[in-house]
């Protein structure tokens, strides 16, 4: 299966600061990447679809100015949580589909905003 490397695996930040999460595809070119958020004991919620070289498509209710997504290359997509607040504390996961059509996931990033 495809390999996605997500970094960092966990981060603690102060309220009001910004945090950048990276997602790299290691063995294939990911034209499209997906960013999910998962709160405790809840399912993955799609936040946005990131297309290489173009603007991300955000799901309804997701603030595009707060969650900045950049997909500048076929192997790297980044999610920046700007002016983070405690309610942004969650598990963030990136995903991409390989040529076989199956989706694979990064290791996830647990963000805690204090």
Partner 1 sequence: QKEVEQNSGPLSVPEGAIASLNCTYSDRGSQSFFWYRQYSGKSPELIMSIYSNGDKEDGRFTAQLNKASQYVSLLIRDSQPSDSATYLCAVWYNFNKFYFGSGTKLNVKP
Binding site for partner 1 (CB under 8 A): 1, 32, 34, 36, 42-44, 46, 49, 91, 93, 95, 97, 101-108, 110
Nearest 5°: phi and psi at 84? -65, 145
Between β-strands 76-81 and 67-73, what pairing exists: parallel, antiparallel or unpaired?
A: antiparallel
Quote the least distance from Cβ 95 to partner 1, whole Å: 7
Give the shortest CB-15-to-partner 1 separation in angstroms.
23
CB of 64 to partner 1, least distance (A): 17
Residue owning tokens 């589909």: 97
Query: Which residue's CB is nearer to partner 1, number 36 or number 67?
Result: 36
**SS3 call for 7:** strand
């Amino acid at each position: 299966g495809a390999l996605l490397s997500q970094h960092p695996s966990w981060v603690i930040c102060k309220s009001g600061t910004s945090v950048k999460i990276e997602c790299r595809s290691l063995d294939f070119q990911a034209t499209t990447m997906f960013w999910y958020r998962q709160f405790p004991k809840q399912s993955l919620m799609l936040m946005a679809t990131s297309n290489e070289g173009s603007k991300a498509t955000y799901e309804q209710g997701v603030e595009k100015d707060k969650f900045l997504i950049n997909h500048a290359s076929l192997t790297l997509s980044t999610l920046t949580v700007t002016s983070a607040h405690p309610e942004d504390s969650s598990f963030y996961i990136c995903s991409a589909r390989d040529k076989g059509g199956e989706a694979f996931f990064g290791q996830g990033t647990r963000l805690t905003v204090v």
